[in-house]
Amino acid sequence: MTSRHFWSREGVAGALRSALSTLLLLACAASGADRAPVPDLPYFPAVARSRVLAPPPPPPASTIAPAAHPAEERRLPPLAFQGFPQLSRAANAFDALGRGLRSQPVRVLWLGDSHTAADHLTGSVRALLFERFGPGGPGFLRLGLAPTRHEHANLQRIGMARTEPTPPSRRAPQADGMFGLGGMRISVLERSELRLKVLPGALAGRARHTLLYDLPAGSRFMLALGRERRTISAVDPRLSRSGSPVQRLEIEGEATDTLVIDVLAGAPRFYGAIVEGSEPGVVLDAIGIDGARVGTALAWDGPAFEAELADRRPDLFVLAFGTNEAFDGVRVDRYEGELERLLERFRRGAPGADCVILGPPDALTRSGTPVRRVPEISAAYQSVARRAGCAFISQQELMGGFGSFASWAAERPPFAFSDGLHLTRRGYQRLGALLFGALFDAPASAPVSSRSR
């Protein structure tokens, strides 16, 4: 039996939008082709006018040393993040990986809403990172959530499960608030089965799996990978990190092996899995929740989430919210404080990571007019990014600016759906390529900026 939704005043509109968005995105994913648009979603009127976005200050010259030999240099990838001096630590990590001087993967943790959840956008960026720097693995994957999809892994659940929190996008605390790195824990019921298979080209070498779970009393499951079998029936305190209840079980197999979990008794709780290759490359964790806002992540237990971040050790994190906030009726400046509090959690959990904040893509109201709160929210996020030392990119500006959603929807084949919110798979691939180019191909002499409107 799947988890039930509790329709609070806060969650009615968000849950409806989430359900329709999930059906839209997963139907598209299931067939590998873009589908017809879904009906328009409820409209919440905008309350303010847009503000002009100022470009960031020009960056200093790159400090990365050139390759030792001219012939070698021609084969190396371009230096990373030349247009973003705020990303110097991440730039060093990417450039060391590109030069073969790094033994660990470069990890990118991307937290966001439904634009992230279906992994079309993040999957496009991940594929481009694989092509330039080498595949490090699919990274964080949800286990037990059905339906779900990922560009670089196949995930299945056969049987029943319960999901917490309900709904996952809720902004009020639920239970103990300890929902792991991905903001969900999924209790998989007895006689159910989970399967995880990495798709070809997603990693190099052997596949290193880290299972994230805990075991309520009476729970037991069997884990199989290749020829290895393990029965898990007890919590081992040595497998948890301080401040988090999540157990970590590591198992390694061939890249072609399928991880199979059979629930033998009770209802083990799964927080996800992490898969990386034995050879270094780039790993991009796509952690998206339909209907999520920044406030969604703030409802999780802070110390537990920070413990999971510390264990993950990202080199770069990306925060990609704002679309659902654009349809709220509260003052936009409220979101600056929320984003600052979320950044504080990331700073405590991952103090060595650089950060990118994305402004939301363009969107349309129910009547087909551009949503005026989108550029306002982008301006608020840019202000926070400037104060916090994060890079900022407006996805609305990458699409072409205020009102660009309509032109994307008018393309044939379309790059956006008529719901006014979501892009087609082709559209997300296009936006992913634009994001990748803005981050990795923008020269230091021409920093990325937002056009005035």
pLDDT tens-digit profile of 90-135?
Answer: 999 999 999 999 999 999 999 999 999 999 999 999 999 999 999 9
- Per-residue pLDDT band for 444 (boundaries 50, 70, 90) equals low
Percentage, residues of the chain above pLDDT 70: 80
Asked if residue 1 belongs to a domain, the reply is no
Average pLDDT, the chain: 84
Interacting residues of 389 by C-beta distance below 8 A, sequence separation 6+: 86, 355
- State which residues form the domain around 433: 11-440
Asked if residue 240 belongs to a domain, the reply is yes
Number of domains composing the chain: 1
β strands within 137-233, DSSP E: 139-141, 153-158, 161-164, 185-188, 193-198, 207-214, 220-225, 228-232
- Per-residue pLDDT band for 71 (boundaries 50, 70, 90) equals very low
- Per-residue pLDDT band for 391 (boundaries 50, 70, 90) equals very high
- Per-residue pLDDT band for 441 (boundaries 50, 70, 90) equals confident
Are 100 and 75 spatial neighbours (Cβ–Cβ below 8 Å)? Answer: no
Asked if residue 337 belongs to a domain, the reply is yes
Asked if residue 146 belongs to a domain, the reply is yes
CA atoms of 36 and 302, how far apart (whole Å): 40
Three-state DSSP at 225 gives strand
- Per-residue pLDDT band for 62 (boundaries 50, 70, 90) equals very low
Q: What is the mean pLDDT of residues 304-315?
A: 96
Q: pTM for the whole thing? A: 0.82
CA atoms of 387 and 381, how far apart (whole Å): 10
Can you give the pLDDT at residue 324?
A: 96
- Indicate if the pLDDT at residue 19 is higher than 50: no
Asked if residue 452 belongs to a domain, the reply is no
Taking the CA atoms of residue 128, residue 134, residue 135 and residue 136 in that order, the dihedral angle to the nearest 10 degrees is: -120
pLDDT tens-digit profile of 125-178?
Answer: 999 999 999 999 999 999 999 889 999 999 999 999 999 999 999 999 999 999
Asked if residue 447 belongs to a domain, the reply is no
Nearest-5° Cα angle at 320, 403 to 57: 80
- Taking alpha carbons only, the member of 171, 187, 141, 203 closest to residue 294 is 171
CA atoms of 345 and 301, how far apart (whole Å): 10
Asked if residue 5 belongs to a domain, the reply is no
CA atoms of 397 and 350, how far apart (whole Å): 29
Asked if residue 130 belongs to a domain, the reply is yes
Tell me the CATH number at 235.
3.40.50.1110
Can you give the pLDDT at residue 78?
A: 61
Burial of 445 (0-12, 13-18, 19+ CB in 10 A): exposed
